[in-house]
Amino acid sequence: MSDLLTTLLTIAVAIGAILGAISYLILLERKLSAWMQDRRGPNRVGPMGIFQPFADGLKFLLKEDLIP
């Protein structure tokens, strides 16, 4: 049982780290494209937009599914 718990915890930490890195790489891409287009980038949440990935993730989770 201990090995299973350790394995699941390791998987959860690895997936969390990968998803966190990807979300901040997306923020970097958005900031760079804003800089190239001479406009302000995502900077509404937190100082200099550092919490923008959390806001984007929360928005994604709370969006309603439209059923035609």
pLDDT tens, 1-55?
Answer: 889 999 999 999 999 999 989 989 998 998 899 899 988 877 778 887 888 888 8
The model's confidence at residue 60, banded by pLDDT at 50, 70 and 90, is confident
Question: pLDDT at position 36, please?
Answer: 92
- The rounded distance, in Å, linking the Cα atoms of 56 and 41 is 14
State the maximum Cα–Cα separation within the chain, in Å, rounded to a whole number: 55
pTM metric for this prediction: 0.71
Rounded distance, CA 9 to CA 64, Å? Answer: 30
CB within 8 A of 26, min separation 6: which ones? 53, 56
